[in-house]
């Protein structure tokens, strides 16, 4: 074989090997046939940050979120404020969604990934999220079925973009925040009496048997006390304490239309609640019990009244915040500081009241009986019988009389004629020594042992008591001093 032939064989073998390697190389998870590559974001960040609307569809349900005056609202719920935490979760999911894999696929294969919106099977229709900017639809995301992992669970979801027909993508995002039920997107927390109630008045205009009642307190630090108490009545603070926070941090379960509210209301039991808060704002609430089908007794076919589990609540602002009265000249520093703080916050409080007025006036909220606390109770449940004051037991020891000195102990009789005896030693005369040489030491003198006369006794010449029969012992005579 010549060298030319050998060279030709080597060239042919090299070309064949190259063709074999290219044809036998496994297809990569990412392919240049798709518009986006691994790591790219599904939706441009600039679009996500400037969205002013979102429309979510799942089956037959649709929820439209729209920004109105910088606040997200739910269009299907009469532009009621949306739960901002849910909206933020969805927007974060859109912002974080990245391409984990690109799959080149034509439109006829979309149904394999549950990404065909024209299919007749609702169970295989994709969920859709329409992104709106400047009031116009920009991009629609079709979100299909989960991509199965090697083990249990999901390895992401298949997604298709309306402006990208190059294929479908797999993203690690699960899009768990997708919910097309509009009632689940509204914010259901109420903060209408944010400054704290200082007076609550309850009446029932259509119920003649209802006894109106009211509670009040001086400051938000005090307890609400029932007004008009009798002498033997006092406030049951265990019941009135719930009035401190009512409509301050409450929740409702459903937003009703005017037609739904009228259909569900049992007007006879409606109550009017007037609340004044610490800012001087006055709010009027109407609480109407929801109709309840009374159970029927099978024996006598009589119906028994049933307690409503829910109330339909409407709201109205009677008066906004009022300027606080200036403190007296002798007011404390704390009182003056509180006045200045309330004066400074009046602007913010007014804005908050006006916002609540715009949001809730004319609305009908379905609230549970438990969330309304003592507002739906009778006056008799807010009071209790005053406890009788038991007299305090005195532990003071009565004073003890101290007898004068010389009084015998109690129980020992003292003779009536006995008199106090005093022993008095008479003075002893001491003779002066003569002016001579010092004499020898004289013998010691014996003391005079003569007892003193008893008081009132007559002494005879022998110095003995009269009638005693006894002679007084003579005192020893003085002995001469021997020289």
| 170, pLDDT greater than 50 | yes
pLDDT at 16: 62
Binning pLDDT at 50, 70 and 90, where does residue 212 land? very high
Q: Are 157 and 173 in contact (CB under 8 A)?
A: yes
| 77, pLDDT greater than 90 | yes
pLDDT at 19: 55
Q: What value does the mean pLDDT take over residues 206-231?
A: 93
Q: What value does the mean pLDDT take over residues 114-142?
A: 90
Binning pLDDT at 50, 70 and 90, where does residue 467 land? very low
The pTM of this model reads: 0.68
Among 29-33, 181-185, 374-378, the least confident range: 29-33
| 413, pLDDT greater than 90 | no
Percent of the chain scoring above 70 in pLDDT: 70
Q: In terms of pLDDT, which residue wins out, 300 or 142?
A: 142
- Cα–Cα distance for residue pair 60/251, rounded to 1 Å: 28
pLDDT tens by residue, 280-293? 999 999 999 999 87
pLDDT tens by residue, 87-109? 999 999 999 999 999 998 888 88
| 474, pLDDT greater than 60 | no
Q: What value does the mean pLDDT take over residues 239-252?
A: 91
Sequence spans of domains, the chain: 45-184, 189-292+307-326+336-385
Q: Are 103 and 167 in contact (CB under 8 A)?
A: yes
Place of tokens 């299909």: 144
| 407, pLDDT greater than 80 | no
| 135, pLDDT greater than 70 | yes
pLDDT tens by residue, 172-189? 988 877 899 999 999 999
pLDDT at 50: 94
């Amino acid at each position: 074989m010549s060298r030319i032939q050998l060279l030709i064989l080597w060239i042919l073998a090299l070309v064949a090997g190259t063709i074999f390697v290219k044809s036998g190389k496994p297809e990569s998870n990412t392919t240049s046939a798709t518009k986006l590559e691994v790591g790219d974001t599904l939706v441009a960040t600039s679009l996500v940050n400037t969205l002013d609307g979102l429309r979510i569809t799942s089956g037959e349900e649709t929820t439209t979120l729209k920004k109105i005056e910088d606040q997200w609202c739910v269009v299907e719920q009469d532009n009621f404020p949306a739960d901002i935490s849910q909206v933020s979760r969805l927007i974060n999911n859109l912002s974080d969604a990245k391409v984990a894999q690109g799959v080149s696929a034509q439109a006829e294969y979309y149904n394999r990934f549950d990404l065909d919106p024209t299919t007749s099977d609702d169970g295989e229709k994709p969920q859709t999220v329409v992104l709106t900017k400047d009031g116009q639809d920009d991009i629609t995301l079709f979100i299909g079925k989960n991509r199965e992992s090697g083990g249990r669970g999901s390895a992401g979801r298949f997604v298709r973009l309306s402006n990208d027909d190059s294929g479908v993508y797999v993203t690690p995002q699960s899009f768990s925040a997708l919910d097309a039920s509009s009632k689940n997107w509204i914010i259901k927390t109420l903060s209408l009496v944010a400054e704290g109630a200082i007076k609550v008045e309850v009446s029932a205009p259509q119920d003649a048997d209802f006894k109106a009642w009211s509670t009040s307190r001086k400051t938000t630090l005090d307890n609400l006390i029932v007004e008009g108490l009798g002498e033997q009545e006092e406030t049951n603070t265990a019941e009135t304490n719930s009035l401190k926070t009512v409509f301050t941090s409450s929740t409702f379960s459903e937003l009703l239309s005017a037609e739904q509210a009228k259909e569900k209301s049992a007007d006879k039991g409606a109550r009017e609640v007037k609340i004044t808060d610490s800012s001087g704002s006055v709010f009027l609430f109407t609480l109407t019990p929801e109709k309840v089908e009374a159970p029927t007794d099978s024996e006598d076919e009589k119906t028994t009244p049933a307690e409503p589990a829910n109330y339909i609540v409407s709201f109205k602002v009677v008066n906004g915040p009022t300027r606080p009265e200036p403190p007296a000249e002798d007011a404390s520093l704390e009182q003056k500081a509180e006045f200045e703080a309330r004066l400074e916050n009046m602007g913010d409080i007014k804005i908050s009241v006006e916002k609540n007025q715009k949001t809730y006036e004319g609305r009908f909220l379905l609230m549970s009986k438990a969330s309304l606390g003592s507002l739906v109770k009778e006056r008799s449940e807010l009071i209790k019988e005053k406890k009788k004051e038991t007299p305090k037991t005195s532990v003071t020891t009565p004073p003890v009389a101290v007898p004068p000195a010389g009084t015998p102990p109690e129980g020992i009789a003292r003779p009536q004629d006995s008199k106090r005896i005093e022993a008095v030693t008479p003075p002893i005369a001491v003779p002066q020594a003569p002016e001579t040489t010092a004499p020898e030491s004289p013998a010691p003198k014996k003391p005079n042992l003569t007892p003193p006369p008893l008081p009132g006794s007559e002494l005879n010449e022998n110095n003995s008591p009269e009638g005693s029969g006894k002679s007084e012992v003579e005192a020893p005579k003085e002995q001469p001093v021997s020289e």
